[in-house]
Amino acid sequence: MTEPFDPRQSLAGVRRRALARLVDLSDDYAGMVEASRDSNADDEHDPEGATIAFERSQVGSLVEQARARLAEVDAALARLDAGRYGICERCGQPIAPGRLEVRPTARFCIDCADR
């Protein structure tokens, strides 16, 4: 038998994973910056493929995505605390429990999300 959906527990798990990803990516980014700081390599003309700048940009984008995910979770937790969790922000109708189980940070019901 499966346990009933607990939004706070689900959001806490999503938040924990997002925070861990953010820490890992931030460490990776800091390591890339540190490694290239003392290097005088001309990465723009490196024939070996992706440049250091490109890789830094990629990791930087992933850091921003992780921060955005964390902000989504925090906003969902704020809605939960305010008693507005699970209510569509567009039409005001309840968001289907199945949708919240799959996407606990959902702000819109399926119909409004499709618009």
Could you tell me where the DSSP H helices lie in the chain? 7-37, 52-82, 97-102, 110-114
Helix axes of 52-82 and 7-37: crossing angle, nearest 10 degrees: 160
The mean pLDDT value of the chain amounts to 88
Q: In terms of Cα–Cα distance, which of 113, 79, 83 is closest to 96?
A: 113
pLDDT, tens digit, for every residue of 8-62?
A: 999 999 999 999 999 999 988 888 777 777 665 555 555 554 577 788 889 999 9
pLDDT, tens digit, for every residue of 63-84?
A: 999 999 999 999 999 999 999 9
